[in-house]
């Protein structure tokens, strides 16, 4: 085709561009629509918005169950949680039947769980079924089954139930290691008995270590979790279970914006061992650890607070044989960095007894590597109730740390079962702020053992205007306390 001039070719070109652009936009819109419909969570109108959890709830909600338990209270047991009894006591009125002989009363409780195999294995929390004489599982379709507690593990708060059924809906497991703070998550459970309730929020933090829990690196979320949610699943946006809702932080007993879930990989390991061998086998190396705070990191020369600080080592334990010492900071296990101190307990406990672990330690301002054999954990490491000898009144004045200390007599050391030589008689100033208490026995400073008052005061002078890590023995436990030296 021949064209004269430039107007017609330009018009034809413009028309071709418009047609091509329209086709490209149409194709892109169709592709985006297809991608959105294929996603487990759709956004409204194809535009960015809050996630729509309804497909997830519809697909996996039927695999979430209500768990009801019945347990017996001892005859004449405490009825203090009964609101009616509290009312009568508050106004000094005898409770009805108060003079009659009490009998065992059934106590009912409820929680949640989720089906992990189509033939009836269910995961929930240990505290949901602890002490239960009867467990009933109710499905979304209102079918009820008597459940058998296959086994439970108090340390991780995991229990495995079994019901006699087949062809059940099941959940899928995800990878908690892929979670990041800020990601959306969804809980399904039975808060206050309202079955199959869904609540959503975001991941607040990962790898949380709670004061009484060293074996679980908890997932912290702001998902509304209340009594009855315990044992229920925590889902990611792909519809995969990444955790089991277990605990809340609350001053009222209700939800206050902070909840914790057990990572599903921890729970799956417990489930497998309970089903296969009937109990959970854990590894240990024989150390007591604590968190590395900013002050402690500064005391030990770490660039940032991370790792697990060893506060004590069991005699003749694998750690002792490997040469691990109080004051060492474990920063990696088998090449995996330890960011939070609870991760060390989790990784070691997951190891098979008899295996070898490679630990990277921070000692004397440099890294070093040790190999340690993992042995089986048989007894919980709980500090025994004991009391250090309380010696005679001190005659020394407080030092610059605010400590009034004196040497221990040989018989006092024997009675306290300690290797330390100095006992705290009085506390003030920086030491009081750090949490040192009268009766504490001083073992070392910044990872080095000390045995004299002069050694302690020399260390304090060297650390002036900085912080030092004071290793103390309190009853039969050891811990580091960071003290800012004035």
* SS3 per residue for 321-384: HHCCCCCCEEEEECCEECCCCHHHHHHHHCCCCCCEEEEEEEECCEEEEEEEECEECCCCCCCC
Spatial contact of 340 and 209, defined as CB atoms under 8 Å apart: yes
Which residue, 80, 347, 332, is CA-closest to 209?
347
User: CA-CA distance, 254 to 406, in Å (whole number)?
Assistant: 48
Which are the contacts of 30, defined by CB distance < 8 A and separation ≥ 6? none
Spatial contact of 237 and 40, defined as CB atoms under 8 Å apart: yes
| Tokens linked to 263 | 């990572």
User: CA-CA distance, 158 to 127, in Å (whole number)?
Assistant: 8
Q: Is 364 a catalytic residue?
A: no
Catalytic residue, candidates 127, 222, 250, 317: 127
Locate tokens 């034809």: which residue?
A: 12
Which residue, 435, 440, 427, is CA-closest to 472?
440
User: CA-CA distance, 468 to 447, in Å (whole number)?
Assistant: 10
State CA 237 to chain mean position distance: 22
| Tokens linked to 79 | 């009825």
Catalytic residue, candidates 126, 153, 157, 298: 157
Question: How crowded is residue 266: how many other Cβ atoms within 10 Å of its Cβ?
Answer: 23
Residues paired with 308 in a beta bridge: 291, 330
Q: Is 127 a catalytic residue?
A: yes
Which residue, 139, 113, 127, 138, is CA-closest to 232?
113
Q: Is 365 a catalytic residue?
A: no
User: CA-CA distance, 180 to 242, in Å (whole number)?
Assistant: 12
Which residue, 224, 217, 235, 244, is CA-closest to 158?
244
What is the per-residue burial (b if ≥16 Cβ within 10 Å, else e) of 152-165?
A: bbebbbbbbbbbee
Question: How crowded is residue 210: how many other Cβ atoms within 10 Å of its Cβ?
Answer: 15
Catalytic residue, candidates 112, 190, 209, 230: 230
User: CA-CA distance, 38 to 35, in Å (whole number)?
Assistant: 5
User: CA-CA distance, 95 to 256, in Å (whole number)?
Assistant: 34
Q: Could you give the residue numbers annotated as active site?
A: 127, 157, 230
């Amino acid at each position: 085709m021949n064209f004269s001039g430039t107007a017609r070719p330009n018009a034809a070109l413009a028309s071709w561009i418009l047609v091509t652009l329209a086709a490209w936009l149409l194709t892109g819109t169709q592709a985006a629509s297809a991608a959105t419909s294929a996603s487990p969570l759709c956004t409204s109108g194809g535009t960015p918005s809050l996630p729509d959890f309804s497909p997830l709830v519809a697909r996996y909600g039927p695999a979430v169950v209500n768990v009801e338990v019945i347990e017996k209270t001892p005859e004449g047991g405490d009825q203090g949680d009964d609101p009616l009894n509290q009312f009568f006591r508050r106004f000094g009125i005898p409770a009805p039947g108060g003079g009659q002989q009490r009998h065992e009363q059934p106590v009912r409780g409820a929680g949640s769980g989720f089906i992990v195999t189509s033939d009836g294995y269910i995961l929930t929390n240990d505290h949901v079924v602890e002490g239960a004489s009867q467990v009933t599982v109710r499905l979304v379709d209102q079918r009820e089954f008597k459940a058998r507690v296959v086994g439970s593990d108090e340390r991780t708060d995991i229990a495995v139930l079994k019901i006699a059924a087949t062809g059940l809906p099941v959940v899928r497991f995800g990878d908690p290691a892929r979670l990041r703070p800020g990601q959306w998550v969804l809980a399904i459970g039975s808060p206050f008995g309202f079955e199959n309730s869904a609540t959503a929020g975001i991941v607040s933090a990962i790898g949380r270590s709670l004061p009484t829990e060293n074996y679980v690196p908890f997932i912290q979320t702001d998902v509304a979790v209340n009594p009855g949610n315990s044992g229920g699943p925590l889902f990611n946006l792909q519809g995969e279970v990444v955790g089991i809702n277990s605990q809340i932080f609350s001053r009222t007993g209700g939800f206050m914006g902070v909840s914790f879930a057990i990572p599903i990989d921890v729970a799956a390991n417990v489930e497998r061992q309970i089903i296969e061998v009937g109990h959970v086998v854990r590894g240990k190396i024989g150390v007591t650890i604590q968190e590395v705070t900013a002050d402690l990191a500064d005391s030990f020369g770490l660039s940032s607070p991370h790792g697990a600080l060893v506060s004590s080592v069991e005699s003749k334990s694998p750690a002792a044989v490997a040469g691990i010492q109080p004051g060492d900071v474990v920063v990696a296990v088998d090449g995996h960095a330890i960011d939070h101190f609870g991760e060390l307990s989790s990784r070691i406990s997951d190891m098979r007894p008899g295996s070898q672990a490679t630990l990277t330690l921070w000692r004397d301002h440099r890294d070093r590597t040790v190999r340690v054999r993992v042995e089986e954990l048989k007894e919980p490491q709980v500090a025994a109730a004991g009391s250090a000898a309380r010696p005679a009144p001190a005659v020394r004045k407080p030092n610059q740390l605010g400590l009034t200390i004196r040497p221990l007599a040989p018989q006092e050391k024997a009675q306290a079962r300690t290797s330390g030589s100095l006992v705290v008689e009085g506390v003030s100033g920086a030491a009081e702020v750090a949490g040192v208490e009268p009766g504490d026995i001083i073992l070392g400073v910044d990872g080095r053992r000390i045995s004299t008052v002069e050694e302690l005061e020399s260390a304090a002078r060297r650390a002036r205007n900085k912080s030092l890590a004071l290793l103390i023995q309190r009853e039969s436990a050891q811990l580091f306390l960071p003290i800012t030296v004035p």
